[in-house]
C-alpha cells in the first residue's frame, strides 16, 4: 500500500487527536499511516515505519503537550520519525489541537531546529473540526493531493453565510451552533484568510454565491471596522443580491457610515428571545421556500400579500393533533424534539409539549425494534438512555452498564453525570477493562467463553432486559454490508439512516452522530458516531470492536475501552 500521509505523535498525549485526524483524512479517501495499535515498536515495525515515511509525501507532526520533550535523546522514536522525514524531503506539517498550548523545548537537536520555524496549522476540537481539516488539506497539502480529494462535508450550496470579526469568534460560534440545531447549514471562514486579494476572492466569493437562504452579518465595532467583513457584506448585497440580516449580539452601535449603506437590511437582537425565535423560524421558512420547485429565489422576500395567499402546502401539520398551522404559530419541544407543534400544546414555563411535561426521564416501557435483513437480529430504534431516535442517550465505557450523560451539550463544559445518579463528576479514563487480556477478562467474568461481554456486563441486557443485548462484531459487519447508509439530518441532528434492502427496503433505523466521551470532554458530537459491540480486540488489550462512522465513511473499528460510546441494542439471534 502506498501512503499519502504519515502521522507522527507522542503516544502519551497525542494519540486521541492523531486518531481523530486519521479518521477524518481516511473519510476523505487518503491512505494514512497511523500506528494506533502498534505500541511495541520492534525492528520489523521500525523498517515498516521508515518505509511508510519515505512513501508518504505528507508528514504530519502532532504538536500536543510535550510532543518534542524527549527529542534530545537519540533513541526517541518521535525524533527518529522527524529526522527520517527531513532526510527524505517530506513535506512536514505541524498540527496543534486548538485546546492545547504551543511550546517548544530549548534542547532540540540541530536537525530539528527548523521545526519551530514552520507554520503551524490548528486542528479545531469543536463543531468546526471538519472545516479545520479541510483548511489543512487545501492550504498545507501539495496541490496535486489537495485537488485529488474533497471533504465529504463540503456539499454546497449551504443555507447561511456567516460574516463576522474573529475577535468575536467565541460568541459567533455559539450562535452558529444554535442555528445549526435547526437543521440549517452554515458557511463560516474558520482560519485567517491568506494574505492577498486572490486568496480572498477564491474562498469567499463562491461561499457567498452558493448561499441559499440568508447572509448573516454579526454586528459589532470590530466587524464594522474589518476590511474583509465589509467586503463580504457589500458583495452579498450589491453583487450577489443575497438576503442580508444584521445580527446584534452585544451593545455596539452602528456607525453612521454603516447605517447609511445598510439601513434597509433586516436587523434582529439575538439577546431578545422573541427576536431570536422569529429569526430561527424565518430561516427555516426561507429554507423550505428554497427547497420548493417554484419558490421565490433567495434574493426575494415574500411580500405581505403573497404570504396571505400561500397555498395549503405552506402550512405545517401538528404531529400531536393533526391541526394545520403556519410555521410562526408553532413551536418545538425542548425535550422530545418534536417540531411544528400547536402553541396550545406548550407549557409556557418549560417550553415542553403537554406529553413531556408530565413524563418521567429515561427510556422505560417497550422498546421499538426493526429487523433489517432476513434472519438478522432486531435492532432497537433508539440508543440506550435516549427518548427518541436522534437523542444520543447514555455514553458507556466498554463493559460499563451504568451509562453517563452530559450536563451541557457544549464540549468544553467538562461534566459527566451517571444515569443512576451515583456520581456527577465522572471522567472517561481509568476504567477496569483497560489493559486486560482475553484470558484476564474471562477469568474476572467480564466476557463469556464465546468471547463476548457476559450478561452482567452487557449494557443492553442490564438496562433493558427482555432479551436485549449489545451487537456482536459479525452483526455490525452485516449492518454495513446488508443495508444502505444515507447521511442525513433528523430534527437538527447529523447521522445516518440505515435502511434494509429488497423485502426490507421499507425498514430503517437512524444512528445519530453522538460523538464520544474522552476523559472529561465530549468529542466530535454531530460529526462522529461511535457504537460499542460486545467483542473485545484479542490483539490489543486496551481496545474493543465497534461501529464508527463519519461523513462519507462507515466501518468497523477498534477503539480504546475507556472511551464513552453509544450502545444500540439488538434482540434475537441470527438463525
Within 8 A by CB and 6+ apart from 152, the residues are 27, 28, 487, 550, 551, 552, 553
pLDDT beyond 50 at 395: yes
Q: In this structure, is residue 297 part of a structural domain?
A: no
Q: Which of 9-13, 59-63, 480-484 has the lowest mean pLDDT?
A: 9-13
Classified as helix, coil or strand, 483 is coil
Average pLDDT over residues 532-547: 94
**Interior/surface letters 266-297, b for 16+ CB within 10 angstroms, e for the rest:** eebbbeeeeebeebbbbbbbbbebbeeeeeee
Choose between 5 and 352: higher pLDDT. 5
The pLDDT value given to residue 158: 79
Q: In this structure, is residue 153 part of a structural domain?
A: no
Q: 94 with 195, same domain? A: no
Q: Which of the listed ranges 170-184, 268-282, 427-441 does the model predict with the highest average pLDDT? A: 427-441
Average pLDDT over residues 399-421: 72
Q: 139 with 163, same domain? A: no
pLDDT beyond 80 at 148: no
Q: Which of 333, 357, 381 is the last residue of a domain?
A: 357
Write out pLDDT tens, residues 366-384. 688 999 999 999 999 999 9
Q: Which of 148, 176, 211 is the last residue of a domain?
A: 148
Q: What kind and span of H or E run contains 32?
A: strand 32-33
Within 8 A by CB and 6+ apart from 12, the residues are 66
Within 8 A by CB and 6+ apart from 410, the residues are none
Rounded to whole angstroms, the Cα distance separating 256 from 82 reads 55
Q: 261 with 242, same domain? A: yes
Q: 164 with 127, same domain? A: no
Q: 72 with 18, same domain? A: yes
Q: In this structure, is residue 298 part of a structural domain?
A: no
User: Nearest to residue 17, comparing CAs of 54, 56, 64, 58?
Assistant: 64
**SS3 letters across 488-524:** EEECCEEEEEEECCHHHCCCEEEEECCEEEEECEEEC
Q: Which of 33-47, 124-138, 437-451 has the lowest mean pLDDT?
A: 33-47
Q: In this structure, is residue 238 part of a structural domain?
A: yes
Write out pLDDT tens, residues 19-53. 889 888 887 888 898 876 444 444 466 788 888 99
Q: In this structure, is residue 200 part of a structural domain?
A: yes
Full residue range of the structural domain in which residue 267 is found: 158-291
Q: 199 with 278, same domain? A: yes
Q: 144 with 162, same domain? A: no
Report yes or no on whether pTM surpasses 0.75.
Answer: no
Query: With bands split at pLDDT 50, 70 and 90, how would you rate the model's confidence at 297?
Result: very low
pLDDT beyond 70 at 414: no
Choose between 78 and 414: higher pLDDT. 78
Q: Is 449 exposed, middle or buried (0-12, 13-18, 19+ CB in 10 A)?
A: exposed
The pLDDT value given to residue 354: 66
Q: Which of 139-148, 292-301, 327-336 has the lowest mean pLDDT?
A: 292-301
Q: 400 with 549, same domain? A: yes
Q: In this structure, is residue 52 part of a structural domain?
A: yes
Q: In this structure, is residue 449 part of a structural domain?
A: yes
Average pLDDT over residues 387-409: 87
Q: In this structure, is residue 478 part of a structural domain?
A: yes
CATH number at residue 19: 3.40.50.10140
Q: 243 with 286, same domain? A: yes
Within 8 A by CB and 6+ apart from 163, the residues are 215, 216, 217, 218, 223, 229, 232, 233, 236
Q: 426 with 553, same domain? A: yes
User: Nearest to residue 307, comparing CAs of 322, 318, 297, 296?
Assistant: 296
- Take residue 342 and report the three cell numbers written for it: 400547536
Q: 221 with 199, same domain? A: yes
User: CA angle at residue 530 from 66 to 11, to 5 degrees?
Assistant: 20
Would you state the torsion angle of the CA atoms of residues 41, 42, 43, 44, taken in this order, to the nearest 10 degrees? -90
Q: 539 with 513, same domain? A: yes
Question: What values do phi and psi take at 217, rounded to 5?
Answer: -110, 120
Q: Which of 148, 174, 209 is the last residue of a domain?
A: 148
The domain total for the chain is 4
Q: Output the CA–CA distances (angstroms, integers) from residue 464 to 285, 396, 458, 532, in the order listed.
A: 40, 15, 10, 16
pLDDT beyond 50 at 426: yes
The pLDDT value given to residue 357: 58
Amino acid at each position: 500500500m502506498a501512503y499519502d500521509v504519515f502521522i507522527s505523535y507522542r503516544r502519551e498525549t497525542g494519540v486521541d487527536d492523531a486518531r481523530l485526524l486519521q479518521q477524518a483524512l481516511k473519510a476523505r479517501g487518503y491512505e494514512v499511516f497511523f500506528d494506533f495499535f502498534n505500541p511495541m515498536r520492534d525492528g520489523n515495525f521500525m523498517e515498516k515505519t521508515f518505509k511508510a515515511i519515505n512513501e508518504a509525501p505528507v508528514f504530519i507532526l502532532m504538536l500536543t503537550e510535550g510532543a518534542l520533550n524527549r527529542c534530545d535523546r537519540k533513541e526517541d522514536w518521535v525524533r527518529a520519525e522527524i529526522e527520517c522525514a527531513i532526510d527524505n524531503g517530506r513535506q512536514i506539517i505541524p498540527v496543534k489541537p486548538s485546546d492545547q498550548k504551543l511550546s517548544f523545548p530549548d534542547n532540540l537537536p540541530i536537525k530539528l531546529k527548523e521545526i519551530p520555524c514552520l507554520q503551524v496549522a490548528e486542528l479545531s476540537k469543536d463543531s468546526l473540526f471538519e472545516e479545520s481539516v479541510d483548511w489543512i488539506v487545501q492550504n498545507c497539502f501539495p496541490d496535486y493531493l489537495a485537488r485529488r480529494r474533497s471533504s465529504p462535508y463540503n456539499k454546497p450550496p449551504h443555507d447561511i453565510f456567516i460574516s463576522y470579526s474573529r475577535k468575536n469568534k467565541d460568541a459567533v460560534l455559539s450562535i452558529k451552533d444554535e442555528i445549526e440545531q435547526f437543521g440549517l447549514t452554515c458557511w463560516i471562514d474558520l482560519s485567517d484568510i491568506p494574505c492577498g486579494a486572490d486568496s480572498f476572492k477564491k474562498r469567499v466569493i463562491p461561499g457567498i454565491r452558493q448561499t441559499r437562504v440568508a447572509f448573516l452579518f454579526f454586528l459589532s465595532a470590530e466587524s464594522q471596522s474589518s476590511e474583509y467583513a465589509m467586503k463580504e457584506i457589500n458583495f452579498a448585497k450589491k453583487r450577489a443580491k443575497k438576503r442580508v440580516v444584521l445580527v446584534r449580539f452585544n451593545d455596539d452601535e452602528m456607525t453612521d457610515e454603516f447605517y447609511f449603506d445598510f439601513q434597509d437590511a433586516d436587523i434582529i437582537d439575538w439577546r431578545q428571545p422573541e427576536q431570536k425565535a422569529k429569526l430561527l423560524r424565518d430561516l427555516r421558512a426561507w429554507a423550505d421556500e428554497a427547497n420548493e420547485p417554484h419558490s421565490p429565489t433567495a434574493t426575494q422576500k415574500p411580500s405581505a400579500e403573497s404570504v396571505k395567499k400561500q397555498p395549503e402546502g405552506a402550512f405545517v401539520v401538528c404531529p400531536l393533533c393533526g391541526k394545520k398551522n403556519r410555521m410562526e404559530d408553532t413551536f418545538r419541544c425542548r425535550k422530545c424534539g418534536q417540531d411544528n407543534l400547536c402553541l396550545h400544546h406548550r407549557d409556557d414555563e418549560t417550553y415542553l409539549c403537554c406529553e413531556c411535561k408530565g413524563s418521567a426521564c429515561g427510556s422505560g416501557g417497550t422498546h421499538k425494534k426493526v429487523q433489517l435483513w432476513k434472519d438478522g437480529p432486531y435492532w432497537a430504534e433508539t440508543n440506550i438512555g435516549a427518548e427518541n431516535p436522534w437523542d444520543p442517550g447514555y455514553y458507556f465505557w466498554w463493559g460499563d452498564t451504568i451509562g453517563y450523560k452530559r450536563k451541557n451539550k457544549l464540549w468544553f463544559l467538562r461534566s459527566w453525570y451517571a444515569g443512576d445518579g451515583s456520581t456527577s463528576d465522572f471522567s472517561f479514563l481509568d476504567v477496569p477493562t483497560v489493559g486486560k487480556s482475553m484470558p484476564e477478562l474471562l477469568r474476572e467474568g467480564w466476557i463469556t467463553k464465546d468471547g463476548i461481554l457476559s450478561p452482567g456486563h452487557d449494557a443492553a441486557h442490564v438496562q433493558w432486559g427482555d432479551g436485549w443485548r449489545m451487537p456482536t462484531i459479525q452483526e455490525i459487519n452485516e449492518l454495513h454490508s446488508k443495508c444502505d447508509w444515507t447521511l442525513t439530518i433528523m430534527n437538527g441532528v447529523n447521522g445516518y439512516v440505515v435502511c434494509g434492502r429488497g423485502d426490507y427496503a421499507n425498514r430503517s433505523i437512524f444512528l445519530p452522530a453522538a460523538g464520544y466521551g474522552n476523559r472529561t470532554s465530549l468529542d466530535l458530537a454531530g460529526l462522529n458516531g461511535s457504537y460499542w459491540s460486545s467483542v473485545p480486540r484479542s490483539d490489543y488489550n486496551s481496545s474493543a470492536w465497534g461501529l464508527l462512522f463519519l461523513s462519507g465513511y462507515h466501518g468497523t473499528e477498534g477503539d480504546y475501552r475507556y472511551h464513552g460510546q453509544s450502545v444500540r441494542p439488538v434482540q434475537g439471534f441470527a438463525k
